[in-house]
Chain A
Amino acid sequence: MAAPIKITTPFTLEQARALKAGDLVLITGTVYTSRDAAHKRMTEALAKGETLPVDFHNQIVYYVGPSPAKPGQPIGSAGPTTSGRMDSYTPQMLDQGLLGMIGKGYRSPEVIAAMKKHQAVYFAATGGAAALIAATVKSYEVVAYADLGAEALARMTVENFPAIVVIDSTGNNFYLEGQKQYCRLPADNNL
């Protein structure tokens, strides 16, 4: 495996364009956490013409609902949640300048089209590696929607957070490429 590419936030368009589907990365800096309920509130706020609690320009969002932190720890276990549940909200977030997303699983054609338009990048973190990922989190601070508990919008500082570029800024999709390479099902599907 090639050595991972180090990314330091703020994420820039130049960094985004340089990444290719299949690249391993280590992310250091600020990412924002948000999942279903916070996305719903943010898109509702946008529909009402309100501004969002955070300026998402050139930011990365991590789809996560961490488990509670033990005393003395910044965060509990914190692996990615399924990104597809955020698909219906994502084009609007990308319109706000969001440039990177970390999650797991497939994205819709609409999200991929919006990503290409904005040259945004989708990263996958390893689902189920929640304790390992939590060890890269240095701080976690709720910035809005505290009533949502684990689903609150929070600012997180990470150091060498491991992820993989799955959909790059030109729309190349490593889920498709990777699986095609290893698929050995009989072509006629004759079972």
Chain B
Amino acid sequence: MRVITAQMVTKAVAELAIKANYYLPEDVKTALTHMHNQEQSPLGQEIINQLIENAAIAAQNDVPICQDTGMAVIFLELGQEVHIDGDLQTAINNGVATGYSEGYLRKSVVAEPLFNRKNTGNNTPAIIHTEIVPGDKLKITLAPKGFGSENMSAVKMLKPSDGVAGVKKFILDTVLAAGANPCPPIIVGMGIGGTMEKAALLAKKALLRPIDRHNANPDYAKLEEELLTLVNLTGVGPQGLGGTTTALAVNIEYYPTHIAGLPVAINVNCHATRHAETLI
């Protein structure tokens, strides 16, 4: 058994919150440059240019890529041979509070969603997803999620007979309804299968995969390509002002499901598909 202290977790989470918000991942930078060269709309090119320049300014000045520094979504892969000395959940939330304060990140969480919506003041609580895995390590991934794009996400319980055509129609309807709102070019995370909540979680997890890497299953890899092409035929374009770059990537994760169902979830992300991870 290996001991990991609550303090180690807090420190790691604080660092991840700052890193994820300041520095745009390399795969996204590469995709932006590639799409800039392909974009047919001059205004669209100008916008993609601004995003590339923005990432450079954010990294150089150590400031957030976007003012919406999100709700902190945390994925834990906790080795079953690890003993956490202290309260894990509190350790994570202390890390979020520290990172959002020391990193000058915006605090965007309200304590109660419907009636008084009072800001908690330190961006806690985080959304925490924990998986127990073999081993004696703890992997922490922090993905700040802004709500301009989160609000455009959707879950649909398709019928098995809807098939691939149903999936295509769902993504088109979702991307067209989202239009300019999620700050395109977007990255689409899609979860297929499982149950309703499993599909949603898969869609979120799909956004953690680098966008230059396809699903290992060739059928799903091909579907990712097809859906990306389709989404980019909508004409929504950068910021919804028209163009050929509506999305930079479509990432799909799937899971076994029930004989009667075909759950599909779409988690929309802006170009700033922020995430950072560390292994303790």
Chain A residues within 8 Å of B, Cβ to Cβ: 1, 22, 24, 64-70, 76-79, 81-82, 84, 104-106, 124, 126-132, 134-135, 149-150, 162, 164, 166, 174-175, 177-185, 191
B63 touches A177 (CB 8 A): no
Task: For the A-B complex with A70-B63, A134-B63 known, give 8 more contacts whose Cβ atoms are closer than 8 Å.
Answer: A79-B66, A131-B57, A150-B106, A164-B43, A164-B241, A175-B242, A178-B43, A182-B244
| CB pairs A–B below 8 angstroms (7 shown) | A1-B42, A76-B67, A174-B242, A178-B237, A179-B179, A181-B41, A182-B242
B64 touches A131 (CB 8 A): yes
Measured between alpha carbons, how far is A178 from B62 in the docked complex, in Å?
A: 34
Residue B198 CB within 8 A of the other chain: no
Selected from A135, A174, A191, the residue in CB contact (under 8 A) with B169 is: A191
> Which of chain B's residues have a CB closer than 8 A to the CB of A131?
54-55, 57-58, 61, 63-65
Selected from A84, A132, A185, the residue in CB contact (under 8 A) with B181 is: A84
Given A132-B53, A149-B107, A179-B236, A126 and B47 contact (CB-CB distance below 8 Å): yes
Given A79-B66, A130-B67, A183 and B235 contact (CB-CB distance below 8 Å): yes
A132 touches B180 (CB 8 A): no
> Which of chain A's residues have a CB closer than 8 A to the CB of B40?
182
Measured between alpha carbons, how far is A149 from B67 in the docked complex, in Å?
A: 13
Measured between alpha carbons, how far is A79 from B106 in the docked complex, in Å?
A: 12
B185 to chain A: closest residue by CB: A128
Residue B168 CB within 8 A of the other chain: yes
Measured between alpha carbons, how far is A105 from B183 in the docked complex, in Å?
A: 8
Selected from B50, B51, B104, the residue in CB contact (under 8 A) with A68 is: B104
B183 to chain A: closest residue by CB: A127
**Interface SS of chain B:** loop
A184 touches B233 (CB 8 A): yes
Given A67-B104, A178-B41, A124 and B67 contact (CB-CB distance below 8 Å): no
Instruction: Quote the shortest CB–CB distance from B56 to chain A (angstroms).
Output: 9
> Which of chain B's residues have a CB closer than 8 A to the CB of A134?
63, 67
Chain B residues within 8 Å of A, Cβ to Cβ: 40-43, 46-47, 50-51, 53-55, 57-58, 61-69, 104-108, 119, 148, 151, 165, 168-169, 172, 179-181, 183, 230, 233-237, 239-244, 270-272
Measured between alpha carbons, how far is A139 from B22 in the docked complex, in Å?
A: 22
> Which of chain B's residues have a CB closer than 8 A to the CB of A166?
241
Measured between alpha carbons, how far is A65 from B148 in the docked complex, in Å?
A: 12
> Which of chain A's residues have a CB closer than 8 A to the CB of B42?
1
Given A1-B42, A70-B104, A181 and B242 contact (CB-CB distance below 8 Å): yes
A132 touches B234 (CB 8 A): no
Measured between alpha carbons, how far is A168 from B81 in the docked complex, in Å?
A: 62
> Which of chain A's residues have a CB closer than 8 A to the CB of B240?
105-106, 175, 178-179
Q: 9 tightest A-B contacts by CB?
A: A178-B242, A127-B183, A183-B235, A182-B235, A105-B181, A131-B58, A67-B106, A132-B54, A77-B67
> Which of chain A's residues have a CB closer than 8 A to the CB of B270?
127-128
B51 touches A126 (CB 8 A): yes
B63 touches A106 (CB 8 A): no
Measured between alpha carbons, how far is A106 from B239 in the docked complex, in Å?
A: 11
A178 touches B243 (CB 8 A): yes
